[in-house]
Chain A
Amino acid sequence: MSQFALKTRLPAYLRTEQQRITKIAEDFGLDFFPTIFEMTTYDQMSELAAFGGFPTRYPHWRFGMEYERLRKSAEYGLSRIYEMVINNNPSYAYLLEGNSLTDQRLVMAHVLGHVDFFKNNFCFAATDLDTLGKTIDPSNRTADYNPNRRWIDKIANHGSRISRHHARHGIDKVESFIDHVLSLENLIDPWSPFNAPAPVRLDDDEDDEPIEVPRLAAKDYMESYINPADYIEKKRQELEEKREREKSFPAHPRRDVLRFLLDHAPLERWEHDVVHIIRSEAYYFVPQMQTKIMNEGWASYWHSKMMTEKIVDASEIVDYADRNAGVMATSPGQLNPYKLGVELYRHIESRWNKGQFGREWERCDNLDDKKAWNMQLGLGRDKIFQIRKLYNDVTFIDEFLTPEFVAAQKLYTFGYSGKTGNYEIESREFQKVKDKLLFSLTNFGNPIIRVIDANYSNRGELLLEHEHMGVDLRRDYAQAALAALVRCWKRPVAVATTIDKKPVLVRYDGSEHSESPYKV
């Protein structure tokens, strides 16, 4: 056993608590991996949090920066990390020494909610290490589902691999390359673990067939008016170009840019290894980003249920309520995923308990009837258990956000006002709130960017495309990310995007940034 584990063993009274709370959680039907709690000091907690929860990461300054920030805000009493849990089998969670017993109980209950979510939500199946890329249908799981999720070990191995590269190539060289690759960390395809392998293109003779332009039916004497010759010629050329484009490389746009670089960029072996490591860690964190609201909401739902119904007694309830209120607090301009998640689960539970769903409910337009609607079905608990298995944040919000909920929770959209230089509340309209919320959750709030041509202008330049959905890219950041791509691709790189409603090609050739109008 490592030194760390020996020094962070839980004291006896907390082990008793853990057994008790585990039993309560199981009785409620939660189904979690074995969970190991460790006791840490403030400093250790800050270190672990800086490492993203892992005891060992690859060496990089950004963890040091995060550590300094966390330690300082803990020292000044600005913030405190209560709970941290790793998606690992067995799961590891950390308790902060010096917290009150009520706090420790709250954290344990909350953590078991998370671990249940890790084990059961379909997104997290992508972190199973023993399925060789195939994901198991979460609704057809056997009772003895016990996947290999030894990510702590895997990520510690990444640490020693990077350390080896440090020793061989020098810290500055390796670290600066890591900086570059981290700039590209979000250029992955969150759904690739669920995709079928790309279809192999059949080598048929399609290419040889002459291009035929579909014509509108017309009588002979009208033919030259309805299908004028120059129009047909133009169409024919367009089709030809399209066929040419399909021959280009890659044949289909690729969203997993890091994978593309691994396969096709002229990387040295150690560089290849670095890209590989960063990519695989990025995929590890994808499910957590995809289910932030659901995951925190689920854990909060269960900690509050367990704490108020089974765990705390009258003497602790005020302490608990105080702490819970802190966790649920909202502040202007920031959505608290804990709050939104737990309220939405409760909303759904109540709807399904009362039968407020289905065709009849939706057709009913009498407000009084709707308010009094109660079929006493009691399906709520089953429904939320099903949701935690089969949904992610996007589908969760898309399907279950209702106008009543938006109004009751006082949700609003906000935006920047050029006039006042402030962020201002824009609207409380249901559809606008929902759209904005879904936009911020889509691709976890990151722009969608694909590789479309690896031989742009026939000069071996890399061309990417930003799928513009109403919001421009931040220019200085885009330029820096392009520089990182050039570092890997070693040829000029450009991204086709839209700035101020005009198509623009933002390009970096290794020494100069440029922007020019872009024509598709």
Chain B
Amino acid sequence: MALKIGQDHARFRHIVRGRIRENLRKYITHGELIGRHGKDRVSIPIPHIDIPRFRFDDQQKGGVGQGDGEEGDALGQGEDQPGQGKAGHGEGDHAMEVDVTIEELAEILGEELELPDIEPKGQSKLDQASNKYTGIRRVGPESLRHFRRTYREALKRQIISGSFDSKNPVVIPTTADKRFRSWKTTTEPTANAVIIYMMDVSGSMGDEQKEIVRIESFWIDTWLSKQYKGLESRFIIHDSVAREVDRETFFRTRESGGTMISSAFKLCKSIIEAEYSPDQYNIYPFHFSDGDNWSMDDTLACVELLKKFLIPWSNMFAYGQVESPYGSGQFIKDLREHFSDESRLVMCEIPNKDAIIQSIKDFLGKGH
């Protein structure tokens, strides 16, 4: 049964959405939400929305309680009564948790950062047909016979023709009574996409740098998963060698040792070659590092890989350089030198958490 409260609830959600939008920048920089997301929902704490009235100052007011305890004993925070109670007027300043879907959150992100929708490349190459039962028809295979409709038709016919006997209510359908389910086929172009995250986990990448990458990747996931129905994420970590890991390991691993970025690019290339044909997939490699590569030779190898394979294959190749006390930050300069007019290579320096918003905008703002 449809509830009347639906309209009020929608208005409330609308207000909540406004609140989230107001505070989005705070949420982004503090990374509060990331620990709170489930499969397709995020739980967001927002300040309690209240109707202000003339009321007493809570700290001066105090009150009367019941139970054991000596004078001077702390009560702890007054908690709500468990289990029972009428619909009371909620008092106090408890923060409220509201659930929003990832999709809604992406929409809010898009509105707030003014991100353009992405035009998928190679669209309509993959048409997917889906069938849906939508109607009833008079012919069809027995396996799709609609029992209730058929029975009803037969009953109608028997009553009209007078052959129905309420004392012996046997209803026998004839061929003309039979009704079958019918379906419609719709084809939809589906665009598949893959994000390949690469991160430098060499000794010079500290916890703060990784936290930045974690926050960035959460929002990138959020945004791109709204744009593409089938979105996959792959994770590559590297120091002087690269290996593929799962999400958990990606953010937790810390290695020591040198950095050879080309190792990650090579692994990325082979993953794409093996599993994600560039003409069927929208490919988004993201690479994060502190910009401290082992040698100039390796950098040149990277440039080679980017020019020949990775950039032509990808919708966009993003490179985010986080600042670390140990890194020289040379890599981004080298890339700028070699790719000054390549629009599909997006580079961005992220010195601290406050710069995350700008870098998300840089990465996603072009609509590739």
Contact = CB atoms under 8 A, between A and B. Distances in A.
Contacts of A338: 84
Of B10, B73, B86, chain A has the most CB atoms within 10 Å of the CB of B86
A340 B65 CA distance: 10
A414 interface: yes
Interface hub of B5, B11, B61, B70 (most chain A Cβ within 10 A):
B5
Contacts of B8: 50, 59-64, 67
Contacts of A409: 66
A244 to B, nearest CB: 28
A428 B64 CA distance: 10
Interface string B61-102: 111111111111111111111111111001000001010000
Given A330-B67, A333-B76, A436-B64, A447 B82 contact: no
A414 B75 contact: yes
A318 interface: no
Contacts of A415: 60, 62
Given A61-B8, A332-B76, A186 B53 contact: yes
B53 A336 contact: no
Contact of A410 (B61, B66, B90): B66
> Most chain-A CB neighbours within 10 Å: which of B59, B61, B65, B85?
B65
B5 A67 contact: yes
Contacts of A315: none
Interface in B305-363: none
Interface residues of B, number: 54
A420 B59 CA distance: 12
Q: Chain B: interface secondary structure?
A: loop
Nearest to B70: A425
A116 interface: no
Contact of B54 (A44, A339, A478): A478
Nearest to A45: B87
A273 interface: no
B66 A69 contact: no
A183 B12 CA distance: 17
Contact of B3 (A44, A49, A422, A447): A44
Contact of A331 (B55, B69, B72, B79): B79
B292 to A, nearest CB: 46
A449 B5 CA distance: 34
B269 to A, nearest CB: 47
A65 B48 CA distance: 10
Contact of A329 (B51, B62, B83, B96): B83
B66 A44 contact: no
Given A326-B84, A333-B76, A474 B68 contact: no
B58 to A, nearest CB: 7
Interface stretch (A80-88, A141-149, A388-396): A80-88
Given A437-B64, A471-B61, A79 B85 contact: yes
Given A43-B3, A68-B9, A186-B53, A425 B78 contact: no
A476 interface: yes
B133 interface: no
Nearest to B78: A333
B3 A47 contact: yes
Nearest to B63: A440
B143 interface: no
A179 B59 CA distance: 26
A99 to B, nearest CB: 12
B96 A69 contact: yes
A66 B78 contact: no
B13 interface: yes
B56 A447 contact: yes
Contact of A472 (B53, B56, B77, B98): B56
A63 B11 CA distance: 10
Given A327-B84, A329-B83, A333-B63, A446 B54 contact: yes
Contacts of A329: 81-83
Contacts, number: 232
A332 to B, nearest CB: 4
A82 B60 CA distance: 34
Given A61-B15, A64-B11, A175-B11, A477 B53 contact: yes
A80 B86 CA distance: 9
B150 to A, nearest CB: 29
B59 A481 contact: no
B54 A473 contact: yes
- The contact size tier of chain A is 35 or more
A68 B74 contact: no
B337 to A, nearest CB: 53
Contacts of A481: 52-54
Contacts of B58: 416, 474
B69 to A, nearest CB: 5
Contacts of B82: 78-79, 326, 329, 331
A64 B53 contact: no
Contact of B49 (A65, A423, A426, A477): A65
Contacts of A179: 51
B63 A425 contact: no
B168 interface: no
Contacts of A331: 67, 78-79, 81-82
Contacts of A433: 64
B54 A412 contact: no
A379 interface: no
Contacts of A52: 87
A427 B71 contact: yes
Contacts of A59: 7-8, 11
A332 B65 contact: yes
Given A333-B63, A414-B64, A47 B55 contact: no
Contacts of B167: none
B57 A7 contact: no
B9 A447 contact: no
A336 B98 contact: no
Nearest to B52: A480
B64 A446 contact: no
B184 interface: no
B39 interface: no
Per CB-CB distance, the 3 closest pairs between chain A and chain B, nearest first, are A64-B12, A415-B62, A480-B52
20 contacts: A3-B1, A44-B1, A47-B5, A55-B4, A56-B4, A66-B90, A83-B86, A183-B51, A185-B53, A186-B54, A327-B84, A330-B66, A332-B79, A336-B66, A414-B75, A424-B73, A436-B62, A440-B61, A477-B55, A495-B54
Interface of A: 3, 7, 43-44, 47, 49-53, 55-56, 59-70, 78-84, 171, 175, 179, 182-187, 326-327, 329-336, 338-340, 409-416, 418, 420, 422-428, 433, 436-437, 440, 445-447, 449, 466, 470-478, 480-481, 484, 495
